Chains A and B, each alone.
Chain A
């Protein structure tokens, strides 16, 4: 009986040591060490699948769920318009240093600064951080990204 208790306690202690050791090991990464010394912190977007060079890519970054949900330009924490280039475009937000952020962008091909739609059907390409596909409209929680490089794919529904 006593030896059974002793065995049980020994096994419990062992599992605790295993968990503590694995947790300690998970904190010991070169990534964590590099983060502390990294001076060029910020948000970098890799915008992929841009179909042509026409017009601009217009990007809105939000740090607020309500503003993100309503796509309110006036409440965005950052805004950039970049000349479109077919393929992949890298867009830096070096001054964004906190987060989490949600990103919403569209490809303004005709240059009218508006996301053109017909009967609620988009005529221009668009992309949202954290979206799994063209019909995915993630909420702020799902769209939220922290600092580093984030890939956003542009979807076109009219082609």
Chain B
């Protein structure tokens, strides 16, 4: 078992991370080809789908520019800042990296749940959910601020004592695992696997706008978290992908900013400071009361 405890040099870890990331991206293009052929055979291939697919990669390009150039610096600075508060002294080896990935997945669960339930975070994450289709190109459909929220939810791992670069590695592994879930091609996997792990089936549910599928299956690698915390739903009736209120556009500018224009409109429309705050921090489905009919206090749930 010595190999589990042999220290791993950090450059080796980041090289591996780049290698995995790059190859998954390249192979996802090949897989997209398979999916497009399948769409054609099923006579579902049309200009709207192709436009949506291209726009997915345009949002990805914007996300990369923002993340690697602007956020990247802030991200690493924030991470190394938190390192000084490290509680445990944790070495980097296969065993501890594996534990870090499990914990990063738990952190991701809460980050993901937060971005669905708090409107200001939903304003950026809604981009990922605004496609009415479900194929591997949707995995790369990101909003402008999607790189901001992970910082807050993964900082506790650094305070716990994991190296910032190991945490970043774990985050990227969790993200990369999810990339390959965005497909209709794969049905249901063997039951033990479906029980423990997030699968294409579980993630189709997550992208559903059907009432029983809303705000379900937040998990990244493990679906166990959803089963534990009561947010699991099984794929039963056919999934209708996209938003409850669709954007009906393949324009990348509309796709990227619709969350913020919707948030802005809701805040502007909300009467009084408290309902404006609630429009920002409340859940996406909350609607401010009509002007003139507002009550002294915000209505209870």
A residues adjacent to B (C-beta < 8 A): 6, 10-11, 13-14, 17-19, 21-26, 28-31, 33
Contacts and interface: CB of A to CB of B under 8 A. Distances in A.
Given A13-B228, A25-B90, A30 B6 contact: yes
A33 B6 CA distance: 10
B160 interface: yes
B96 A25 contact: yes
B161 A30 contact: no
Given A21-B102, A29-B5, 7 more contacts: A6-B230, A10-B228, A10-B230, A13-B229, A22-B90, A22-B99, A26-B161
B106 A14 contact: yes
B160 A22 contact: yes
A19 B162 CA distance: 12
B110 to A, nearest CB: 7
A21 to B, nearest CB: 5
19 contacts: A13-B229, A14-B106, A14-B110, A17-B103, A18-B106, A18-B107, A18-B156, A22-B88, A22-B99, A22-B157, A22-B162, A25-B99, A25-B162, A26-B88, A28-B4, A28-B91, A29-B5, A30-B5, A33-B2
A23 B160 CA distance: 8
A4 to B, nearest CB: 9
A14 B105 CA distance: 11
Q: Determine the main DSSP class of A at the interface with B.
A: helix
Nearest to A11: B110
Given A6-B230, A29-B93, A23 B110 contact: no
Nearest to A33: B5
A26 B110 contact: no
A24 B160 CA distance: 11
Contacts of B162: 22, 25
Closest 10 interchain pairs by CB? Answer: A22-B160, A26-B88, A29-B91, A10-B229, A25-B96, A28-B95, A25-B99, A30-B5, A25-B90, A21-B103
B112 to A, nearest CB: 13
Interface residues of B, number: 29
Contacts of B230: 6, 10
B91 A31 contact: yes
Contacts of B106: 14, 17-18
Interface in B80-108: 87-91, 93, 95-96, 99-100, 102-103, 106-107
A33 to B, nearest CB: 5
Contacts of B89: 26, 29
Contacts of B160: 18-19, 21-22
B51 interface: no
A26 B2 contact: no
Contacts of A26: 88-90, 161
Contacts of B2: 33
A61 B5 CA distance: 34
B276 to A, nearest CB: 23
B172 to A, nearest CB: 19
Contacts of A24: 99
Interface in B263-290: none
A18 B5 contact: no
Interface string B1-36: 010111100000000000000000000000000000
Contacts of A28: 4-5, 91, 93, 95-96, 99
Contacts of A18: 103, 106-107, 156-157, 160
Given A18-B160, A19-B160, A30-B6, A25 B88 contact: yes
Contacts of A22: 87-88, 90, 99, 103, 157, 160-162
B228 A25 contact: no
